[in-house]
Amino acid sequence: MEAKKRERVWTLHESKDDAGTTKDIRELALGLQMSELCAKLLYNRGFRTVEQAQRFLKNEETQLHDPFLLKDADLAVARIRASVERHEKTVIYGDYDVDGVTAVSVLYLYLKSLGADVSYYIPSRSGEGYGLSRAALDRLKAEGVQFIITVDTGITANEEADYATEIGLDMVITDHHECRTELPRACAVVNPHRPDCPYPFKELAGVGVIFKIICAFEMDACRRAGRPAIDGVRRICYTYADLTAIGTIADVMPLVDENRLIVALGLRLIAKTERLGLSALIDASTSQNNRSVNLSAGSHAAPRKKKITSSLIGYGIAPRINAAGRISSASKAVELLLAEEQGEAVRMAQELCEINRMRQVEENRIAEQAYRRIEQSHDFTRDRIIVLEDNGWQQGIIGIVSSRITEKYGLPSILISFDGNCGEEDRPGDVGKGSGRSIKGLNLVEAMTWCEDLLVKYGGHELAAGLTIERGQVDAFRRRINDYAARKLDDSALAVQMEADCEVRMSELTMSLAQELSRMEPYGVANPTPAFVMRDATVQKIISISGGKHTKLLISGEGISMYGMYFGTPADSLDFSEGDHVDILFHLDVNEFQNIRSLQMIVQDIKPSERYHRHCDSMQSRYESIRSGGSFDEEEDIIPVRDDFALVYTVIRREFRMGHDRISDKTLLSLVNSQRPGQVNYIKLQYILLILHEMKVCGVERQAGGINRYSVYFNAGKTNLEKSSILHKLRSQCRNRSFSG
């Protein structure tokens, strides 16, 4: 069944427009010494007083919480201290995504600084899959390991934790994924999502949890040494907030409460980082994304240092770290972050960039295959969750493709790979690994719990989860999880909800505003990049770029023009044309090219202008009334003069010579008014076309959809428009006519 185009619903979060609100916003702007537009953004986000807004802008709205409020934090600290003091052979057992890689790196660096005998282990995504396994525990035990600390994993590993105890391995589990009813049995289980955990902030990343544990360890050490505990917390923050920020951003954690504090500090540390591997990765990724050269500065000029933001981390750094675990080995990313030699750091950073390019190629291949199968066989009227399986899909890539599928079709999706099954025939007992993404309104972990008897194991978050399943259970799983979704998702849940802060005019978009907006960073979940809506803008140019993958638009309003980037949207897929009036939902961005900074829009969505279409409908109705003999006032500016005729004819002749003999009314209006907006309105244009046709200056053949086909008579002699009967009749219909000919 064919996919229905997903409805996009815009929600504006503007506060009530009344005298009281306007007064409050003006007072906020005055107190903060910023524009009223930026003050309105803060007001709409709940910061109603100068004091509240200042605390937010200075990251003073909260303090770091006491890490010992985390259930079992004291037990974890005690067991880790014992391992350090006894020089036990310790392994950090992590996950292969960015959160896991940074968590491993943070804990490894800290324990090494204490003199611990520590190493790390990250399972192979394709060979072992997510989480703890008996085989890995056996291998570590055989190598003489005595103590394991998990980071970003382990909360659902009940059987594996019991097995570790059986073979004599002590374990501390730290994680942030959703818990099951029964927790694994270990020396300590630290997870803010534990039902019995009193920690006031539940949205820490996996690296955030281990960051809090080493804060607790350092506080305990300071107290034992008779020093203020805050000294230890400060040292940890200024040493490890950078890596913690990267994992927090990459795992799409809400940037509120202490996450906001950690990320804000982390970004400042990254901007002046002395970590060789991180510096090399930033240089490698930004040089790939900005290959322009300022020729006037000479071939050896250093590139402009790119500002470190959450977007740069999320879209530039994190994918390259992630790619290691998806295509190769996550250990490569850890090695890069731990690098101590400049040349090795540069080499490894370039290797991660190359791995990321390989990931992109493979991702596109799998995505195209998945799209074809969905379009050919998925029943959109019946199934609310897309479940696909394949023998040849790389397990490290299917999670990203699942994200793309969910974005494209507006439905939760789960992709399962049986890559690695070597039999000549498919067997029911073949084990596959799956990765899924969901939409708001359907908790993917809860949905999998509904099907848990069909799964080998599963785990994750509300909107992203993984599973292991036997081939023989896939069909039953597809049916049952869709039965669950049918009860949870109605049609309204399937619409794309797009949120915006407020409406703006083109004249309000200034470089000064962009600088003010930077004060609200870091942006992310729960503190999103400000989104604006501009009504009734005009699309002046549509330019296809990057081989047709993206579109560049020239947008105008109030006599001002600005470029807008519409990423991921080919020009030939747009449902509007040059000259159209549109409403735009966008982010404001500062583009830096060859050391020149300019404003641009990052377009999120475009719709036909509601205001303009209401105006067009009104003008169409008015035109029909006047054409039928109705009277009108001179102030309506309907009667054309010679300059109006010359302007319209010049545009038609120019377009005709360029091979454009079919032009819509709205496009012609835009072209005619490009130099002097509003000179010719819709009704006046229609009468000009009627009169030009009547006087045989050009042929005008009306076609469907508001389009005319034009013929230009280049050999026509000089025409006296005053002889037009249509023009004379039009003048006679004007009630207060002062026109003298």
Q: What is the mean pLDDT of residues 182-192?
A: 97
pLDDT band at 741 (very low <50, low <70, confident <90, very high): very low
Q: List, by residue range, all CATH 3.10.310.30 domains of the chain.
A: 378-494
pLDDT band at 467 (very low <50, low <70, confident <90, very high): very high
pLDDT band at 610 (very low <50, low <70, confident <90, very high): confident
Residue bearing tokens 């240092």: 305
With a cut of 80, say whether residue 178 has pLDDT above it. Answer: yes
pLDDT the model gives residue 294 = 33
Output 479 or 16, whichever has higher pLDDT.
Answer: 479
pLDDT band at 1 (very low <50, low <70, confident <90, very high): low
Residue 173's Cα: distance from chain center in Å? 31
pLDDT tens digits, 324-357? 988 888 999 999 999 999 999 999 999 999 999 9
The C-alpha angle with vertex 86 and arms to 205 and 275, in degrees rounded to 5, equals 40
pTM for this one?
0.78
pLDDT tens digits, 213-229? 999 999 999 999 999 99
State the virtual CA torsion across 250, 256, 261, 264 in degrees, nearest 10: 50
With a cut of 80, say whether residue 676 has pLDDT above it. Answer: no
The C-alpha angle with vertex 420 and arms to 416 and 425, in degrees rounded to 5, equals 90
Give me the helix-helix angle, 665-672 and 682-694, nearest 10°.
Answer: 100
What is the CATH number that goes with domain 8-13+498-608?
A: 2.40.50.460
With a cut of 50, say whether residue 424 has pLDDT above it. Answer: yes
Domain at 71-266, CATH class: alpha beta
With a cut of 60, say whether residue 299 has pLDDT above it. Answer: no
Share of the chain above pLDDT 90, in %: 69
Q: List, by residue range, all CATH 2.40.50.460 domains of the chain.
A: 8-13+498-608
Quick one: which H or E segment has residue 241? Answer: helix 229-250
Q: List, by residue range, all CATH 3.90.1640.30 domains of the chain.
A: 71-266
With a cut of 70, say whether residue 63 has pLDDT above it. Answer: yes
Share of the chain above pLDDT 70, in %: 94
pLDDT the model gives residue 291 = 40
pLDDT tens digits, 360-378? 999 999 999 999 999 999 9
With a cut of 90, say whether residue 168 has pLDDT above it. Answer: yes
pLDDT the model gives residue 217 = 97
Q: How far apart are CA 205 and CA 177, in angstroms?
A: 9
pLDDT the model gives residue 612 = 79
Sign of CA dihedral 128, 133, 135, 140: positive
CATH architecture of the domain 378-494 equals: Roll (3.10)
Q: What is the mean pLDDT of residues 588-612?
A: 89
What is the CATH number that goes with domain 612-732?
A: 1.10.10.10
For residue 522, cis peptide bond before it (omega within 30 degrees of 0): yes
**Sheet-wide strand order for 431-437:** 386-390, 413-417, 431-437, 464-470, 457-460
Q: 131 has which bridge partners?
A: none
With a cut of 50, say whether residue 304 has pLDDT above it. Answer: no
Q: List, by residue range, all CATH 1.10.10.10 domains of the chain.
A: 612-732
pLDDT tens digits, 478-500? 999 999 999 988 777 677 778 99
pLDDT band at 36 (very low <50, low <70, confident <90, very high): very high
pLDDT the model gives residue 534 = 96
pLDDT tens digits, 92-103? 999 989 999 999
With a cut of 70, say whether residue 471 has pLDDT above it. Answer: yes
Which long-range contacts (C-beta less than 8 Å, at least 24 apart) are formed by 597-602?
A: 597/511, 598/563, 599/509, 599/510, 599/511, 599/514, 599/562, 600/562, 600/563, 600/564, 600/565, 601/553, 601/555, 601/562, 601/563, 601/564, 601/565, 602/564, 602/565, 602/567
Q: What is the mean pLDDT of residues 587-607?
A: 90
**Taking a C-beta distance cutoff of 8 angstroms, is the pair 185, 165 a contact?**
yes
